[in-house]
Amino acid sequence: MTPSPTRPPSTAKFPVEIITEEEMSLIEAAFYSVSAAPPSVQFDQNVRSIRSITMLSKRRLSGCTESVNSDIEDSGRIIGSYSPNRKRRVLESFLHRFRRRRGLSVTDITSTEWCEKQMEFFLLLGRPKSTEAMKAGSARHMELEEEVVKRVKIDVESIEDRWAVKFMNFIWGINQLLLDGLTRELPVVGFAEGVWMVGIIDEIRMSLVESERIPILVDTKTRVRATLPAEPQRRNGRLQLMCYKYLWDSLVANKFPSHKFFDYFSLNPHYILSPEVRQVTEKSGFPSETLDDLVRYFQNSCCLLPRAQDQLLLRYELQEDQSLLGEDQFDYEPAWFESQIKSCMEFWQGEREAIFTPTEERWKCKFCKFSSRCPANSNMDDSATPPENENFLSPPIPSKNELS
């Protein structure tokens, strides 16, 4: 039985949420940005009371104490091994050089799956400027988010405050999901193959399936023309949603080793949060003096949640009028997801050099800003023609954002 989505309530009940201004244009990939722009908080005095939920969150719930699996490894070390297809040894991994204190974003994963060589150029030479299509996609996600949240600015004073912002957003998003059956732009953080990964889930719907409430993860993509994407882009979008499900289910299973989290991101758990952040947590029903206090609320909130449904949903909208072009419902495939993540980690951890996009997908090179520099381009001929339904003018990315 296909679950029916829960629609937003007709009477606006806005939850609280904190988001930086920069994150509105780079909302997923800049999950751990260190921007000078002042953050903002979605906070409404008329918000529905969430006391009953936060009271549950305050309790040391049975089975919700911190657990650290013995097989989880800190990914901060440098990996530099040999591989049969390597021309030289990678002395320092891209993970260590570029993501050592910020973690991999889900966008990093999907960009790597699209083309490892292009991802390498992104890291070494910088990403191209956002196209109008990218900006339109980001604007649409802002619009969707603002249907269910309200923005109010808040001052932060440290990296610890900025992470506090993420955890507060999560707690408020979970409260909204449990009360209203819908939330959007929910930040998540967790382990994948021993590496810290961060992301922002586009939309979560709480649906009733055989008398049980189960979260459904949804992502909306925008299209320039009224066509559905070809298989490579669909595959990329499926991987993105599978990453979100993996992170969600890991949090629900209480797989968030806070000590490793504080250590990896160089955070002081006993840091006293800024006065404004503490004031907001007090008003919200989960008063927190330190970052560690807030992380405990975050962990206990995770224990209130069920695992996400195995069926995931990709939606495709036309940018011009936001009409629905089609939906792609698909099942979570653990074995395929694991193989994709392991392959991605080989690249990021320096176990091998970047692989060119497959020959049958070499048409992607015609849309790559680095094609003139790439060795694969010299072998590309006129037969590398993109499918008729591919109409992007830049590499396909999660429509919400890119790394700067």
Amino acid at 180: D
Four-residue CA torsion sign, 205, 332, 244, 145: negative
Query: What is the predicted pLDDT for the residue at 377?
Result: 75
Q: Which long-range contacts (CB under 8 A, 24 or more apart) does 171-174 make?
A: 171/54, 171/57, 171/284, 171/286, 171/297, 171/298, 171/301, 172/15, 172/16, 172/17, 172/42, 172/50, 172/284, 173/15, 173/17, 173/204, 174/53, 174/301, 174/302, 174/304, 174/305
pTM, full prediction: 0.76
Instruction: Note the pLDDT tens digit of each residue in 182-195.
Output: 999 999 999 888 89
Q: Is 259 exposed, middle or buried (0-12, 13-18, 19+ CB in 10 A)?
A: exposed
Higher pLDDT, 367 or 381: 367
31-62 pLDDT, tens digit each: 333 333 344 444 443 334 344 444 544 444 43
- Considering only residues 97 and 381, tell me which one the structure prediction assigns the higher pLDDT: 97
What is the reported pLDDT for 153?
A: 73
**Is the pLDDT assigned to residue 77 strictly greater than 90?**
no
* 331 contacts 311 by C-beta, under 8 angstroms: yes
pLDDT at 215 exceeding the cut of 90: yes
Q: How far apart are CA 101 and CA 344, in angstroms?
A: 19
| pLDDT of 280 | 93
Which helix (H) or strand (E) covers residue 331, if one does?
A: strand 324-331
Rounded distance between C-alpha atoms, residue 201 and residue 31, angstroms: 11
CA distance 151 to 229: 33
pLDDT (tens digit per residue) in 230-246: 999 999 999 999 999 99
Selected residue with higher pLDDT from 265 and 135: 265
Is residue 100 very low, low, confident or very high in pLDDT (cuts 50, 70, 90)?
Answer: confident
Tell me which DSSP letter residue 188 carries: E
Greatest mean pLDDT among 29-43, 339-353, 390-404 lies in 339-353
How many Å is the Cα radius of gyration of the chain? 21
**Residue 226 and residue 318 in contact, taking contact as beta carbons nearer than 8 Å:** yes
Phi/psi-derived region of residue 402, left when phi > 0, alpha when psi is between -120 and 50, beta in every other case: beta
The residue among 69 and 368 whose pLDDT is bigger is: 368
| Distance in angstroms (rounded) separating the CA atoms of residues 276 and 168 | 13
Distance CA 133, CA 315 (A): 17
Q: What is the pLDDT of residue 380?
A: 55
pLDDT (mean) for 343-358:
95
Tally the residues of the chain. Answer: 404
Record the tokens describing residue 392, joined without a space: 């992007």
Instruction: Please state the rounded mean pLDDT for residues 297-326.
Output: 95
